[in-house]
Amino acid sequence: GSCFLLLFLQSVVMLCDRQCIKLPHAVYRLTPYFLSLYISLFLLRNPEMTSATSLLFFAIHLACISTGNSSESFVKLECKTEYHGVYGQQLILGCIVKPVVVDVTIITVTWKRMGAAAKADANLLEYHKEKRELTPGFKFAEPSWNKKNMNVSLLLTNTKMADKGEYECMVTTDVGIATATISLSVTAKYKTPTMSSIPETNIKENTDVTIFCNSTGGHQTGLIWWFDEFGTNWTRSAELVAKEMDNGLFSLSSKFTVLKATSSYTNYTCKVLNVNGAEEGMASFVIQFASRDLGTCCRACYLWV
């Protein structure tokens, strides 16, 4: 009789769940275990049962255990799997808790790095029973977040190159646990280049002039192309040096020497291109030649008669 009672209770729980009728959370969690316990005791007290009957009860037993361990089925975590951030800007890694039942309370939320970038016992964000621990630069996307708010998205206040990689979000509720993994890539554009020359000013005709073009800020090694005022490409005659800086970004420095420069060619342009060949910045430079000596002017003489 007690077996049928437990089976009936399990059926009621499943029916109520399908009809979206709220039951106490303990009913969801404990009913499968009671049924599993009863079947185990029944098998021990009845060794004379046939192998077929025993196999049937064993299958029911496994089903009960499976149901009892499926608390995660009552809560899911929906997150976009890939995000693309821009260096120096804010970014939200979106994650929403989707419970199957109503009136769910969040107990714990943790956001952490995965893989080589992860540090032992270092969570970027941790919430547990009203207490929060935040790493600078990371916080809940919703300022007024509370344990009833199913939006557990993470806000990066100032995205850096070091932020790229894998992230894991884990949420514990009173009806189950859910986890999700997110991949983040970070890009950065080169700044508008700056130009200078040696010598700087008062340059005489037919003097060799070296022009410099510098830019920083790209997330990968880029290129610098050179053109004169008539559109001729002089890039092959230039030298380029690319270096990775401490912040993970790259700097580009290029120099182009104009041999025996003349005032017929005074304007030169450098263009900064990213690794894909797209232009990200441009600047122009005018060689400062010395003023020409126009000689002295004769004043008109007037003869009064």
Q: Mean pLDDT throughout 137-151?
A: 95
Rounded (5°) CA angle 152-69-47: 175
Q: Which of 67-71, 142-146, 149-153, 183-187 has the lowest mean pLDDT?
A: 67-71
Does pTM top 0.85 for this prediction?
A: no
Please state, in angstroms and as integers, the Cα–Cα distance from residue 65 to each residue in 40, 76, 96, 173, following that order. 11, 20, 28, 20
Question: How many other CB atoms sit within 10 Å of the CB of residue 107?
Answer: 14
CATH number of 74-187: 2.60.40.10
Q: What is 194-286's CATH superfamily?
A: Immunoglobulins (2.60.40.10)
Is 241 in contact with 253 (CB distance < 8 Å)?
Answer: yes
Q: Give per-residue pLDDT as tens, 269-285.
A: 999 999 899 999 999 99
From-to residues of CATH 2.60.40.10 in the chain: 74-187, 194-286
How many CA atoms lie less than 13 Å away from 77 in the CB half-sphere? 26
Overall average pLDDT of the 62-77 stretch = 58
SS3 16: helix
Report the C-alpha gap between 240 and 172 in whole angstroms. 53
Predicted local distance difference test score (pLDDT) of residue 72: 43
Q: What residue type is assigned to position 279 of the chain?
A: E
